Amino acid sequence: MNAAERITSLQNPRIKQLVRLRDRRSRDEAGVFLVEGYRQIRRALEKNLKLAELYFSREWFLGENEPALIAEARAAGAQIVELSKDAFAKVAYRERPDGLLAVAPQWHNTLDTLEPLLSGKAAPFLLVVEAIEKPGNLGTILRSADAAGIDAVIVCDPVTDIFNPNVVRSSTGVLFSVPVVIAESQPVRAWLRGRGIRAVATTPSAQELHYDADLRGPLAIVMGSEQYGLSDFWLGESDACVRIPMAGQADSLNVAMATIITLFEAVRQRRK
């Protein structure tokens, strides 16, 4: 591994800036976000995300592949900086870091971004999520959407920043491979309608069960927040409403779990 700048002081300006990037305002002002962990950084590089900086600390390494990843990031143009064990512990977001932390530029997709991605698809398969509160849930939803083969995820009226470190971590880097659009609900509904994509909303108050509904063809499954569910707008404007049957005392599931169940019922139907 080639020599890199080394930082040991916890008062170094770079260390202070990395700590500030945990805050959304600082991330947005700088136009960057943090990517921590071998798997997440590996996926970022695989998707040609241009890392601005890569920080590492040998004392925290968990395996033997880290030097090769650092060399790859360097070759792709990232500035490489070595940190002491204490300095890395200061900037790490995880309780047990693996010694790798990158700074990457934010991006901002729009509904127009999806046009070339969906062009020629007879049956687009989309996921719309509204006002998801918890970063861990949003990250898990992105990971599940990738597993289900979703063409894109549209985040309506966002409460959680998609560049929150917990979103990046819990998505296991899928954030870099699944197209994600941030938009308001009304333009999204008009966009779906204009392309003949059915919106199927999920709500515990629906009469139809999710496995009885037709989830084939051009489809957008719409999921609401865990605390409040879907807004009246989506409940009133969707083409159909479905629910997951609940046999116990609980009247709802964790939103990430409910998303997984609904998505893979659609996958089952669409494979027939």
Alpha carbon distance 33, 39 (integer Å): 16
pLDDT digits (tens, 9 = 90+) for 52-111: 999 999 999 998 999 999 999 999 999 999 999 999 999 999 889 999 999 999 999 999
* Number of domains present in the structure of the chain: 2
* Residue 55 buriedness (CB in 10 A; 0-12 / 13-18 / 19+): buried
What sections of the chain are H helices per DSSP? 13-20, 24-30, 38-46, 66-75, 85-91, 111-118, 135-148, 165-170, 185-194, 232-237, 255-271
What is the Cα–Cα distance from 12 to 151, expressed in whole angstroms? 43
pLDDT range class, residue 2, cuts 50, 70, 90: low
Token pair in block for residue 26: 């600082």
Q: What is the CATH number of the domain that holds 153?
A: 3.40.1280.10
Same domain, residue pair 258 and 123: yes
Please tell me whether the overall predicted TM-score, pTM, comes out greater than 0.85 for this model: yes
The CATH number that applies at residue 42 is 3.30.1330.30
Task: Give pLDDT tens digits for 102-148.
Answer: 999 999 999 999 999 999 899 999 999 999 999 999 999 999 999 99
Residues 41 and 92 grouped into a single domain: yes
Q: What is the C-alpha separation between 88 and 56, in angstroms, rounded?
A: 7
Which of 105, 124, 150 terminates a domain? The answer is 105
* pLDDT given for residue 60 in this prediction: 97
Examine the domain organization and report whether 54 and 187 are in the same domain: no
Residue 23 has what DSSP assignment?
Answer: S
Q: Model confidence at 155, in pLDDT bands (50, 70, 90)? A: very high
Cβ count within 10 A of residue 196: 9
| Residue 94 and residue 118 in one domain | no
The strand pairing partners of 154, in sequence order, are 128, 181
Domain match, 155 and 227 both: yes
Residues 195 and 83 in one domain: no
Domain boundary among 105, 122, 147: 105
CA R_g for the chain? 21
Domain end call among 105, 126, 149: 105
pLDDT at 251 over 70: no
Verify that 172 and 50 share a domain, yes or no.
no
C-alpha neighbours within 13 Å on the C-beta side of residue 145: 33
For position 19, what pLDDT does the model report? 97
Residue 199 dihedral angles phi and psi, to the nearest 5°: -105, 120
Residues 70 and 115 in one domain: no
- Classify strands 180-183 and 208-209 as parallel, antiparallel or unpaired: unpaired
- Whether 196 and 219 share a structural domain: yes
In this structure, the answer to whether residues 72 and 186 fall within a common structural domain is no
User: Same domain, yes or no, for 98 and 115?
Assistant: no
Domain that holds residue 233: 111-271
The answer on 95 and 21 residing in a single domain is yes
